[in-house]
Structures are given as C-alpha cells and as structure tokens.
C-alpha cells in the first residue's frame, strides 16, 4: 500500500491533546505510523538452550541464593503485578447461542463444584430462592451463569480477574490478588518482614481493590508474619493512543473530537518507571499457582533474582573499570565477553574491525542499561510470545521476546522460524532498574517504537484502527540487557479461560 502524509490536526484537536497531557508531536508520530508502518521484525532463529537461553545447573544454585539473600536483606526487592485485566474473556466461550457455547455451558455445569466460587454461587442462588443442585439436574445453565456473571448476582463479568475466586482452601477461597501476597512472602520479605508490592488497576476499580486490601491486610500479615507495603496506580491518559478510520484519518466522535484508546500493557512502562524501584519482579495477575506449588515457584524466583544481582554486579564492576582505565583493551574485551555470553547479543559486524575508542564506547553504551532476567518454559502451545534472535538495524543480533502479532506470518520463512520455537515467555521477569550510581534509568530511552502494532477494532459499529504500544516485556524493553533462563513448567500456571482453573496445576 502506498503511504500518504498523516492528516493535519486542527486547533481544537491540539487543545484536546494538550488536556490529555500528550505531546502533539507524539500524536503526529502515531498518525504517521498508521500511514506508513515500519516493517515487521526479522526473526533469524528461535533462541534455544545454549543459543540464547541459559540453564542454571544445580552447582550454581547456592551462590545465586546467596546473591538473592543479600538483595532481600538490603530491601531492594519489589513485586509489580499488572492487574487491570477484566474477567470478560474468561467467560467468552460460555456465551452466545452456538453449539460450541451450548456444549461449554454443559461442561460448566458438570464441573461446577470444582470451582472455588461454587460455595458463594450456591449461597447467592439460595438467597434468590433457587437450588443449585436442582438447576444442575435440569440443565438450567443460563440461570446459573446469569447469577455468576450479572450485577444482580456475583457480577463476575464486570469484575477484575484479580478479584475472582481462583483456589479453594479449608478456610475459604482465595482470589488471585490474595494468592500473589501469599506466594511472594517466600522471596520478597526483608529481614524485618516487609514485602513491597505494586498493582496496576483500572480507575473505576481502584476503590474496590483498596477495600479488599483493607479487609485482607491484617489477617494476611498475622498468618504470614510479614508487613505488606502495597501501592496502586492506573494507566495514565497521557499514554493513550489515537484511533483512525480505515483510511487512516483520525477517528472522530459525534462532537468531532478525537478518539483516544488505552495503548495496551506497554503503557505500563510509565507506571514501572515512576516507581523509582531497584529490583522488581514482574508477573501477570492470572499466572498464580495454589499454595502447594509456592515453594517451587519461589525457589526459582530467588534463583532468577540471584542471577540478575550477579550479572548486575559484574556489569557495574566493568563499567567502573571502563571509566577508570579507558585505554585498557583487556577491560573492553572482558566487557564484550560479558555482553555476548550473558545478554543474548551478537555485536554488529563493524565492531570487529573498529578502533579501541569505538569498541570502548559501544561497550559502555551496551552495559549501562536496565537489565532483566526472563524465565522461559518449554513450549507447550500456550498463546503468547517467546524468545527469538532478531536482526537489529545495525546488523547485530539481539535476543528478544516476540509476540505473534509482531511477526509477518505470511512470509513462509518467518512462519517456519516462528513455528520452530522451543520456549515460551510466561512473563516471569526480574528487572534491575537503577544504574551503578543508584539512579533510576529513564526507561523510555530503551523502547523500540517500531514494535508497536496496529489492531482492528470497532466503536459504535464503526470500524477503526487502534495502536498498541510496544508491549511491556517485548518492545518496551527491547533496548534492555536481557538474559533468558529456562525454568520448570511447574512455575507457569496461567488462567486465560474459566476452564484453565480445572487444569491439574490449579486445584489445591
């Protein structure tokens, strides 16, 4: 398709944009992206064990645990959980009048007693004069689902996924929100027992989260022997992106104003950076296991954090030497070795023949960046992205987390590479967000804007194109120093649909 210049913005548009706190040049850049999107990233091959993915041998576990312990004792740790997702998609397969939906509703009734919300649903139906056992016998799935999903019942359809009952215990059900607190005490607590958390939530549900936390805090602190420090934030309006019509003109509402939409989870980079935090665990709200798996999950969280702390210490030491001994080629060689062996990076071809100063400058630039260790699991057909070697604009290669939507899968070669992936990204990250002087990095400097992608949506029945910002753990972190580490599949327990809660890893 032939590209065209993006349409000009009117004075009224610029006033609206200013109220949202979005720079006008950023909106113009977004409009240009629709008119002339960049090419898809070029996959060279999947990352595999010993080719971009590390395996932590048992002999390394003890020193890595020691490195994690030092970080925990220094109060450096925080857990960041994107928790704004609604539960709507979990119940999508049960809705509608198709034969598939009818079969799923029947399956739901057959398994209903296995769900953690069963006692509350039974109680609510009884309050309405209905007997759940009788409804199941008569196959009245619609009545049961209405009570589960609609506002007159439990209201699950408009409830954040974080606040759904996920797991059953003798003392009652736990939501995924509560379960994250229980799990993290095994790898987050300081010697004084403080555990620091930050959840991103939607504005209209913030009060609901704080109310739930107020109810849970004291019982959790007593039972876990910790002090919970919990923060919340919402996605800023300034991270919204403009929508366009099918001809790439700004999508306008009835009053001729522009339509802006949330920019996807990549917008949360702003929330992450605003924390000014040091070492941060990132994990999705729906990837949470029951308590019987917490020790395994926590053991690997500690190892990943220890690996990160060790890499950070080695990088800081080399940055110090690069500053104090700038003429020493041996220091540059050591820095390049760390970069290429640990950070899934193949330097650009020009570096091999470059002079000492160029090699020194490149090494300093590459080391002085935010850092992350990403746990990856063996590919098992889960939806999402994985680690791939991607060709950089300077000719080098970088290990990146790549999502399906970023790949040109109409290209047979790219599709073949995508299909040959061996590992999956379960969003199991530990990140180092401060430089060697203890100052927070400006995370916006390391985003690859070309990894944003266009989505096709509708508003009031009218088609539109939306712009998804580079994903939080892929394009938004593309310029970070990244190490991929294989972790056991038992550490990954996602819940994307209602029936995922019936998988063997979830029932306690």
DSSP result, 141-183: HHHHHHHHHSTTTT-GGGSBGGGSEEEEETTEEEEHHHHHHHH
Residue 111 maps to a domain: yes
Q: From 193, 184, 202, select the one nearest 288 (Cα to Cα).
A: 184
| DSSP label of 2 | -
Same-domain pairing of 202 and 313: yes
Measure the CA angle with vertex 467, ends 429 and 390; round to 5°. 50
Q: Tell me if 165 is assigned to some domain.
A: no
Distance of alpha carbon 281 from alpha carbon 80, whole angstroms: 6
Q: Are residues 313 and 402 in the same domain?
A: yes
| Residue 360 belongs to a domain | yes
Average pLDDT over residues 170-194: 95
Cα separation, 430 vs 370, whole angstroms: 11
Stretch 93-104: mean pLDDT, rounded?
88
Under DSSP, is residue 109 helix (H, G, I), strand (E, B) or coil? Answer: helix
388 and 490 co-located in one domain: yes
Distance of CA 485 to the CA centre of its chain: 17
Q: Give domain status of residue 195, yes or no.
A: yes
Residue 371 and residue 236 in one domain: yes
Evaluate if residue 1 carries a pLDDT over 50: no
What's the Cα-to-Cα distance from 346 to each of 150, 216, 351, 357, 399, rounded to whole Å? 53, 48, 10, 19, 9
Q: Which CATH number characterizes residue 75's domain?
A: 3.90.550.10
Task: Please tell me whether residues 144 and 196 are part of one structural domain.
Answer: no
For residue 162, give both structure tokens: 């974080």
Over 60: is that where the pLDDT of 3 sits?
no
Same domain as 20, residue 93:
no
Final residue of a domain: which of 158, 193, 208? 158
Query: What pLDDT is attached to residue 7?
Result: 66
The parent domain of residue 113 ranges over 88-158
Is residue 286 domain-shared with residue 320, that is, in the same domain? yes
Residue 212: which pLDDT band, with cuts at 50, 70 and 90?
very high
Query: Among 291, 341, 335, which Cα is nearest to 316's?
Result: 335
pLDDT in tens, 393-411: 999 999 999 988 889 999 9
Give rounded-to-5 percent helix, strand, coil for the chain.
Answer: 45, 20, 30
- pLDDT band, residue 2 (cuts 50/70/90): very low
pLDDT of 505 reads: 83
C-alpha span between 184 and 187 (Å, rounded): 6
Q: Tell me: pLDDT of 44 over 60.
A: yes
Q: For residues 221 and 271, state if they share a domain.
A: yes
The secondary structure of residue 327, as a DSSP letter, is T
Summarised one tens digit per residue, pLDDT across range 342-392 is: 998 999 999 999 999 999 999 999 999 999 999 999 987 776 789 999 999
What's CA 408's distance to the chain center, in Å? 22
Average pLDDT of 441-459? 94
Residues 274 and 135 in one domain: no
Whole-number pLDDT of residue 5: 62
Q: Is residue 4 part of a domain?
A: no
pLDDT tens digits, one per residue of 123-136: 999 999 999 999 99
Same domain as 394, residue 344: yes
CA distance 84 to 284: 10
Q: In whole angstroms, give the CA distance from residue 343 to residue 486.
A: 14
Q: Residue 253 has what pLDDT? A: 95
Tokens for 437, please give them. 């002087």
pTM: 0.94
Among 158, 191, 214, the domain-final residue is 158
Residue 508 counted as domain residue: no
Angstrom distances, CA of residue 237 to CA of 240, 263, 264: 5, 9, 12
* pLDDT tens-digit series, residues 180-189: 999 999 999 9
DSSP per residue, 278-294: SEEEEE-TT----GGGH
What is the distance between the alpha carbons of residues 317 and 308, in angstroms, rounded to a whole number? 14
Q: What percent of the chain has pLDDT over 90?
A: 87
> pLDDT above 70 covers what percent of the chain?
98
Co-location of 144 and 238 in the same domain? no
- Split into its structural domains, the chain has a count of 2
| Mean pLDDT of the residues in the chain | 94
């Amino acid at each position: 398709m032939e590209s065209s210049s993006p349409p000009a913005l009117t004075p009224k548009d610029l006033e609206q944009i200013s109220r949202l706190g979005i720079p006008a040049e950023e909106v113009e850049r977004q409009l240009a992206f629709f008119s002339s999107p960049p090419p898809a990233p070029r996959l060279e091959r999947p990352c595999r064990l010993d080719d971009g993915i590390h395996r932590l041998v048992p002999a390394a576990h003890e020193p890595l645990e020691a490195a994690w312990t030092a970080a925990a004792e220094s109060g450096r740790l925080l857990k960041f959980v994107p928790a704004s997702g609604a539960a709507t998609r979990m119940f999508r397969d049960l809705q509608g009048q198709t034969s598939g939906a009818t079969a799923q509703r029947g399956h739901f009734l057959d398994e209903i007693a296995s769900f953690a919300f069963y006692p509350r649903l039974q109680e609510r139906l009884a309050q309405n004069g209905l007997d759940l056992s009788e409804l199941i016998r008569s196959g009245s799935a619609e009545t049961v689902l209405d009570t589960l999903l609609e506002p007159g019942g439990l209201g699950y359809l408009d409830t954040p996924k974080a606040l759904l009952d996920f797991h059953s215990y003798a003392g009652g059900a736990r939501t995924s929100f509560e379960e994250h607190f229980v799990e993290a005490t095994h790898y987050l607590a300081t010697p004084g027992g403080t555990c620091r958390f930050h959840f991103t939530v939607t504005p209209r549900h913030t009060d609901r989260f704080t109310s739930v936390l107020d109810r849970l805090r004291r019982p959790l602190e007593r039972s876990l022997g910790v002090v919970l420090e919990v923060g919340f934030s919402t996605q800023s309006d300034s991270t919204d992106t403009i929508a366009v019509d099918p001809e790439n003109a700004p999508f306008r509402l009835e009053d001729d104003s522009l339509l802006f939409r949330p920019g996807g989870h990549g917008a949360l980079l702003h929330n992450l950076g605003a924390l000014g935090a040091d070492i941060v665990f990132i994990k999705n709200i729906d990837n949470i296991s029951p308590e019987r798996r917490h020790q395994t999950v926590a053991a690997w969280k500690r190892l990943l954090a220890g690996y990160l702390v060790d890499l950070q210490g080695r990088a800081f030491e080399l940055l110090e030497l690069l500053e104090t001994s700038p003429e020493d080629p041996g220091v540059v060689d050591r820095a390049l070795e760390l970069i290429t062996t640990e950070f899934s990076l193949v330097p650009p071809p020009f570096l091999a023949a470059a002079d000492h100063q160029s090699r020194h400058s490149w090494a300093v630039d590459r080391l002085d960046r935010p850092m992350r260790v990403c746990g990856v699991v063996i590919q098992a057909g889960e939806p999402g992205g994985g680690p791939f070697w991607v060709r950089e604009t300077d000719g080098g290669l970088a290990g990146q987390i790549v999502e399906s939507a970023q790949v040109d899968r109409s290209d047979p070669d790219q599709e073949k590479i995508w299909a040959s992936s061996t590992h999956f990204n379960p969003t199991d990250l530990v990140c180092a967000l401060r430089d060697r002087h203890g100052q927070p990095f400006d995370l916006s400097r390391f985003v690859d804007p070309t990894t944003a992608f266009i989505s096709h949506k509708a508003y009031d029945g009218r088609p539109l194109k939306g712009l998804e910002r580079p994903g939080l753990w892929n394009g938004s972190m593309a310029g970070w120093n990244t190490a991929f580490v294989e972790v056991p599949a038992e550490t990954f327990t996602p819940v994307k649909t209602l029936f995922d809660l019936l998988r063997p890893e979830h029932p306690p």
